[in-house]
């Protein structure tokens, strides 16, 4: 079972409101006293933000629908084929989303109806966070609560330390540079979380920094050729720093930095946060600050080396069963 965050069914205010209501009601995501947060969410956010966010989705929506859903479906099909080629067995791969459809319960019912009794759950988050991976665990527990006969399960916590994952990231950057040349700076931008979450034990920022160091080591870059940052902050409290937009604005004002390339290693598939926030909004930030050239390097998506890595990860965990 591959699990990602989720997406609205359509790029309109009603669909976005339904999606945000589910996503932002998760206490793993927002750690504010429930009564206070309910008032803020339903009194302000769900009245104001759906229309604005829907317009952002409209800028990245394709004929195939949501980019995240379309790419996730391609990953699902490619992974099932790769596993079958390696094992000679038609092992089913189902896709689930923490929020929206197909839900964890929907995917679970599909697996159960096909007679599956053992499930490997693979959250598509390379670096563990309580806001993402742990939310999958919680959602899975809720989905299984009505089930009288629980399946045997393996839950994959993270995979950023795998050499083949780091190699796939480095390969994607090298291949981009082979075609487009090298930048003055490479920025590895990760989805952010509030600093308060790290202070109370969430290891996600540490995993991000470890990922960045491992990729840079493979690329052979010097300290002045790259940096890491965190994007997508929300609200007024302090988030993990440095902030992506602030750093790009600073670089744009630097006369010695003409071109910047950005890659997002925390995302296994391109989505609104990469295609609209990073590829579009942050490009404007850098160029308006004085930068000359800005490139976004796509996520690993359904690259063959990414799918091969995922297949190896799954089969290593399933070795006893196989």
Binding residues for Fe(2+): 191, 273
User: What are the residues whose beta carbons fall under 8 Å from the beta carbon of 51, sequence distance 6 or more?
Assistant: 13, 16
Q: How far are the Cα atoms of 71, 173, 206, 275, 306 from residue 170, in angstroms, in the given order?
A: 20, 5, 19, 20, 11
Answer whether 316's CB lies under 8 Å from 281's CB: no
> How far, in Å, CA of 136 to CA of 134, rounded?
5
End-to-end CA distance of the chain: 17
- Annotated binding-site residue numbers: 191, 273
Taking residue 147's Cβ as centre, other Cβ atoms within 10 Å add up to 12
Give ∠ CA 64-276-308 in degrees, rounded to 5: 60
What's 2-67 look like in SS3? EEEEECCCCCCHHHHHHHHHHHCCCCCCCCCCHHHHHHHHHHHHHHHHHHHHHHHHHHHCECCECH
> How far, in Å, CA of 15 to CA of 12, rounded?
6
Answer whether 17's CB lies under 8 Å from 46's CB: yes
């Amino acid at each position: 079972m591959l699990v990602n965050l989720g997406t609205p069914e359509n790029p309109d205010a009603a669909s976005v409101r339904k999606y945000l209501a589910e996503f932002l009601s998760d206490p793993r995501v927002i750690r504010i006293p429930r009564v206070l947060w309910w008032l803020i969410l339903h009194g302000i956010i769900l009245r104001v933000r759906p229309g604005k966010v829907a317009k952002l989705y409209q800028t990245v929506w394709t004929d195939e629908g949501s980019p995240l859903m379309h790419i996730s479906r391609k990953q699902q099909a490619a992974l099932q084929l790769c596993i079958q080629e390696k094992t000679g067995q038609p092992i089913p791969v189902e896709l689930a989303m923490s929020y929206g459809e197909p839900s964890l319960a929907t995917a679970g019912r599909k697996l159960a109806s096909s007679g599956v009794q053992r499930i490997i759950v693979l959250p598509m988050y390379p670096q563990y966070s309580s806001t993402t991976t742990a939310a999958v665990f919680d959602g899975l527990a809720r989905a299984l609560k009505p089930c009288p006969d629980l399946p045997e399960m393996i839950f994959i916590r993270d995979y950023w330390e795998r050499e083949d994952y780091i190699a796939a990231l480095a390969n994607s950057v090298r291949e981009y540079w082979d075609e487009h040349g090298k930048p003055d700076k490479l920025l590895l931008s990760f989805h952010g979380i509030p600093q308060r979450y790290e202070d109370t034990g969430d290891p996600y920022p540490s995993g991000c920094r470890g990922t960045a160091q491992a990729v840079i080591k493979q690329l052979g870059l010097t300290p002045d050729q790259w940096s890491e940052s965190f994007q997508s902050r929300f609200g007024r409290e302090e988030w993990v720093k440095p902030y992506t937009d602030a750093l790009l604005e600073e670089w744009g004002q630097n006369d010695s930095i003409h071109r910047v390339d950005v890659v997002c290693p925390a995302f296994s598939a391109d989505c609104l946060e990469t295609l609209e926030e990073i590829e579009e909004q942050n490009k404007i930030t850098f160029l308006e600050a004085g930068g000359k050239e800005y490139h976004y390097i796509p996520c690993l998506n359904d690259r063959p080396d990414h799918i091969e890595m995922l297949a190896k990860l799954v089969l290593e965990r399933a070795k006893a069963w196989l």
